[in-house]
Amino acid sequence: MINTRKKQILKELDLLPLWRIKHNSAEKNQCQTTTNKLNETCRKQILQMDWQQLSTSIAQCTACSLSASRTQTVFGTGNKQASWLFISGGPEEVENTSGEPLTGPSGKLFEQMLKAIGLNRANHTYITNIVKCHLPRNRNLTATETQQCEPYLSRQIALIKPKLIIVLGEITAQKLLKQDTEIAHLRGKLHNYIDIPLIVTYHPTHLLDALLDKAKVWEDLCFAKATMQSLNHSSHIN
């Protein structure tokens, strides 16, 4: 700030108005790099974003090759203050078209799963994907793709502050937990992700072809419900 006396002197010397260098957005926001990956500056920025900034950043992201084959990004839907966070895998083709996670036949089955334990999709849960762009031919995720999208997911989790995370699918669970353990050995246990309890179960798409595993998912959902009740009880005591 310039005080009145200095302004008067500058005016007398014919040095007003003052001009300041305006930094362009490319200099200020260095998220996109020539190597097509999120640099450290961008990762730090993401971890400070609000919902709108995060949505815009994801929609414009070209940090990995998945951006070239997407129709649109799949950000996430639901209650942004939900206690229940469900994390799915890479968006399927129907999600690539709709722009929302878990739509189509698998989405209908997912809503039935929620209803079975007394949850409403819109009111009680938030649903997102481990990566925000469609995987061509529904192939498995690569480590690079997961790594580039991880700051976005971390920020979503930080904003939501869920009490419990439910991971849908083996590959997604392995990537988040950074282990190669089969889903049969991941189920039925309480894991930890960013200091939040995490439970693993099958993805609804898997259940469309493996009906016998529906009983296992029911066990997982009951375990999740009991876990949430315990978490709520502990929070009331504290």
Say which amino acid occupies 80: K
pLDDT at 113 over 50: yes
**In terms of Cα–Cα distance, which of 55, 45, 98, 100 is closest to 78?**
100
pLDDT at residue number 15: 57
Spatial strand order of the sheet with 125-129 comes to 77-78, 125-129, 84-88, 164-168, 196-201, 191-193
Tens of pLDDT, residues 140-153? 888 889 999 999 99
Q: Environment class of residue 124 by beta-carbon count within 10 Å: exposed (0-12), middle (13-18) or buried (19+)?
A: middle
Q: Which of 4-13, 60-69, 202-211 has the least mean pLDDT?
A: 4-13
pLDDT at residue number 36: 64
Tens of pLDDT, residues 30-62? 455 445 678 888 999 999 999 999 999 999 999
- Measured CA to CA, the distance from residue 54 to residue 155 in angstroms comes to 8
Cis peptide, bond prior to residue 101, ω within 30 of zero: no
- pTM value? 0.84
List of domains in the chain: 32-237 (3.40.470.10)
pLDDT at 232 over 90: yes
